[in-house]
Amino acid sequence: MAETVGKVYSTALFELCTEQDKLEKVFSDYSEFEALMKNSECADYLRFLASPLISGQEKSDSIKAVFGDKIDALLLDFLCLTAEKNRADKLDEIYGEFRKMYNDKLGLLEVTAVTAQPMTAELRDRLTDKLGRTTGKRIVLTEEIDKSIIGGIIVRYGNTELDSSVKTRLDNLKAQITNTIA
């Protein structure tokens, strides 16, 4: 099966970072770059980088001018290369794959917990401890608030979703009642 552009480029970047012992720095810089590019104010700049009408050299020069002294040289060269090869539209995909490799190498698991109100420190600790013991990985927890779930918790990681929200329980009860009556 052919690999995606994101996988090919991220693997190359990951291997270079590992060889040059720059994984932590490049991951940190790439994460900040990615967060910046998700800002709506950067939409025009991303379109500029992805445009086939603009030369690779102009794109590369722009990246150097904007980020030259702010990010690691390895990442800077990588971003310039993606722009020159008209792959800047794939930077988000590349980052996603790079992040997966980074997490795998360090034994990290990204988990999202959705609750109706903020979790207490005790609940947060219990959740990360239990998931850590279950998965054998260190947990990186992201919390989201969604009042529509009424109560309970939804936990998402990888391809897994554990939903013990009050809303889902009520929906299931409603479906059971409907099926019993029908």
pLDDT tens by residue, 25-83: 999 999 999 999 998 888 899 889 989 899 999 999 999 999 999 999 999 999 999 99
Query: 19 and 35 share a domain?
Result: yes
Using the Cα atoms of residue 163, residue 109, residue 158 and residue 79 in order, give the sign of their dihedral: positive
Query: 77 and 154 share a domain?
Result: no
| Domains identified in the chain, total number | 2
State residue 3's pLDDT score: 82
Tokens describing residue 96: 């996603």
Query: 98 and 114 share a domain?
Result: no
Structural domain that includes position 51: 5-103
Q: Report the run of H or E that residue 112 belongs to, with start and end.
A: strand 108-115
User: 72 — phi, psi (to 5°)?
Assistant: -60, 145
- Residue 37 in 3-state DSSP? helix
List pLDDT tens digits, range 74-117: 999 999 999 999 999 999 999 999 999 999 999 999 999 999 99
State residue 43's pLDDT score: 86
Q: Which residues contact 153 (CB under 8 A, 6 or more apart)?
A: 113, 114, 115, 127, 162, 164, 165
- Residue 68 in 3-state DSSP? coil
144 vs 164: CA distance, rounded Å: 15
List pLDDT tens digits, range 112-140: 999 999 999 999 999 999 999 999 999 99
Give the residue from 41, 72, 103 where a domain finishes.
103
117 vs 131: CA distance, rounded Å: 20
Query: 43 and 84 share a domain?
Result: yes
Q: Which amino acid is at 86?
A: N
159 vs 150: CA distance, rounded Å: 24
Query: 60 and 139 share a domain?
Result: no
Please tell me the pTM assigned to this model.
0.83
**Contact assessment for residue 131 and residue 109, using Cβ atoms and an 8 Å cutoff:** yes
Distance of CA 124 to the CA centre of its chain: 21
49 vs 109: CA distance, rounded Å: 32
